[in-house]
Amino acid sequence: MGFGDYPAEYNPSIHGPYDPARYYGKPDTPLSQVKLGELGGWFGRRNKNPRAMVAAVSRAWWRWQHKYVHPSKAGIAPIYQLIVGSMIFFYTINYGKIIRHRNYKYH
């Protein structure tokens, strides 16, 4: 499996047209339905290699695209989401510089 190939679990005769926002592996219990005692086993079943993590981020990106950007009557929500996300990101990376410029009241 190289870069740009379909996942190994994808079968066109079973799944139909390929959807990049869908996980084609074996379904598992959603995180919201896992009990605290089963949490360790649930994390143990996750695929932790970098390729799987990149695939999970890619699926999340495509889900976001399908929900907010690609609809025929898409609103201004994706623009606001990108603006707020970039504000939070840049505040986080510049927090060390910002904290030095606090104004203190000396009595």
Residue 2 pLDDT > 80, yes or no?
no
Residue pLDDT, tens place only, 58-94: 999 999 999 998 888 889 999 999 999 999 999 999 9
Residue 33 sits in which domain range? 12-99
In a domain, 95, yes or no: yes
Residue pLDDT, tens place only, 26-65: 888 999 999 999 999 999 998 898 988 988 999 999 999 9
105 falls in which pLDDT band (50, 70, 90)? Answer: confident
Q: In Å, how far are 4, 15, 34, 85, 86 from 27, measured between CA atoms?
A: 23, 14, 14, 30, 33
**Number of structural domains the chain divides into:** 1
In a domain, 7, yes or no: no
Q: What is the 3-state secondary structure (H, E, C) of the chain?
A: CCCCCCCCCCCHHHHCCCCCCCCCCCCCCCHHHCCHHHHHHHHHCCCCCHHHHHHHHHHHHHHHHHHHHCCCCCCCHHHHHHHHHHHHHHHHHCHHHHHCCCCCCCC
